[in-house]
Chain A
């Protein structure tokens, strides 16, 4: 054992070994995923298991990936066991919570010795109140986290707190490994290098310490009512030889366009008024007519409110530059749309050879473009104004056959 004399890790790893022996699992069917810290030295002690020594706190996340892939894609061949310390459990709290939420079939053995042993005995989130360490020289004033309760709250069905030296630990570990879902065994132990020197602590006092911190020993929760994530996922998503989706909705052009140059069209209106989907219809029609086409959409981050804008480029040759600095055509059907194209500086950059199709309800903006006003909103309503404006533009420009639209 690579550990200091009297270290709890030695006890725990012996009991883990006993548990694995008693379960008679094939060593190649076990993945032992270890965290950073002294407990991470366990890898080399298990000579026949697959061992994955990971980064600090992330062991449970890597184990979750291994386990989900195994359960869904490889028919659940593996038992995945995580060895993590109290430091790792806190920096990787998210991963324990999420493993519990998912109920992945991963067993986490949390070896809690109240401190960071490998780096000099600093206090951890698991240190009891009044615990003295080099970084809490006057005694720790932060209460310890109760990880067993946290995973319980996240839906874990196997959460148990035990002592490293207690009888029956190997049986408990074996049960945790065989539990068909997420299991946590928090094993409380002593760091003989850093904990006992500064604190009045011995193995037989650990139960008392836990009690004084309001942390219950024994079963926190123990039941099996849920199925593991992998089982549910695999059932919901059976393997299908459904190969190609790429060619769905693909088209071979049926129409001809008379367009002989590149045109940049800006369509602006309000969210929820089908601005972007109308622009998409224009693009679909252009593509069905053999044209090159790009579309960029823009809207405020809230998506469902404010302006909605699409920039469409149609061309008879390949489009390289996908932005529109000076629109050839701007179609503006709402006040929010008008404000947006105004703020972007598009209207003032338009030239006399360009066209602004403006809803009749809107004020005339400053622009050199030829302005044409139509009562799109009044005639077709706000939600069809964009589409009717696009249709009217297509008719006017006479670059696409109307059947394509």
Chain B
């Protein structure tokens, strides 16, 4: 195919991916390094008659998106650490009310306002463990503008299919660096429309109805033909606020199981395995690119090494990781944060291998810093 090059940032491609996936509502609030998504959505949506608006704060931005999604429209907002801190209440509400929404979280250096123009990968815990109860939050993590596009389309597909908020966890370096991409090589995820209750299935429809715990309830918009009953409080399948009765606990378990039961289906990784390698490098986001450079350099020197980039951070692609490390002695997890947040989580199920971290804050991890960890 004839290449079709464009010079774009990751942030621009998140916006393009959202539009491709059918996003029709965006509410934004300025924050470096996520503002590029906001700006691009303002360029793309109104000219199509869709909505991109400025919210007065991040709480409102996500609440507007959740409201629009309840009305039946695919919605997205974008932010960074400080804004995410404000969104967590509404994020939990979206999770509890099974409202699809995509949040692009472009990480920067923390804590607090930290470094607005400095990259970081320090918000793995802050995003994944943002719910009371520790529910599994689907998180996709791009490392290139191409992946920004593709994983945003996938984030929408998951959000709609699973009726859940999905986080696209980018970072400053991925979001704000311009790069040549080949448009002819983009492979977006299949566009998924909400499974709406129609015809006969609408007869016994309940706002949160399901048979098996992992089933996803059929959606009905606020304003649709059936009365809907939405609440962020513990509720039965009808959506009625309840204390700990059996059905209400079932609903709470269902919220988790609809995600974890699809763990393998939701797994997205790129493995680059080499026979005879004793080390498996594992990384994600911006550092996954650095890791690819390490692999290229090391192999040119004649070293053997395997590598895996993880695009679906959560639910953790456990099976794919186990398959990848089968032949190695050591697993090296490279990530731009203090203690190795993702490594800690990997270590919780990898008991039969040495798992070491390459960690750093303030500037990007270099290829050489990863290379020294190869055995």
Hey, which bits of chain A sit against chain B, CB under 8 A? 27-29, 31, 43-44, 47-55, 58, 61-70, 72-74, 77-78, 94-95, 97-98, 233-234, 236-243, 245-247, 249-253, 280, 283-284, 286-287, 291-298, 301, 319-323, 325
Contacts and interface: CB of A to CB of B under 8 A. Distances in A.
B7 A287 contact: yes
Contacts of B229: 43, 50-51
B195 interface: no
B177 A68 contact: no
Nearest to B68: A69
B196 interface: no
A247 B4 contact: yes
Contacts of A73: 24-25, 50-51, 68, 71, 73
A133 to B, nearest CB: 25
A68 B226 CA distance: 21
A252 B364 contact: no
Contacts of B3: 252-253
B232 A294 contact: no
Nearest to A41: B241
A2 to B, nearest CB: 11
A247 B66 CA distance: 30
B71 to A, nearest CB: 4
B289 interface: yes
Contacts of A65: 25, 27, 63-71, 75
Interface of B: 2-7, 16, 19-20, 24-25, 27, 43-44, 46-51, 53, 55-57, 59-60, 63-73, 75, 89-90, 93, 116-117, 173, 176-180, 183, 222-233, 240-241, 286, 289-290, 292-293, 296, 363-364, 366-367
B49 A253 contact: no
A69 B7 contact: no
Contacts of A28: 223-227
A69 B73 contact: yes
B171 to A, nearest CB: 12
Nearest to B63: A61
B99 to A, nearest CB: 10
B56 A98 contact: yes
B90 A58 contact: yes
B235 to A, nearest CB: 9
A283 to B, nearest CB: 6
B60 A95 contact: yes
Given A69-B73, A245-B44, A62 B116 contact: no
Given A239-B48, A323-B364, A323-B366, A55 B7 contact: no
Given A28-B225, A77-B223, A242 B289 contact: no
A48 B226 CA distance: 9
Contacts of B75: 65, 69
Given A69-B25, A252-B3, A280-B7, A242 B67 contact: no
B48 A240 contact: yes
Contact of B117 (A54, A241, A250, A301): A301
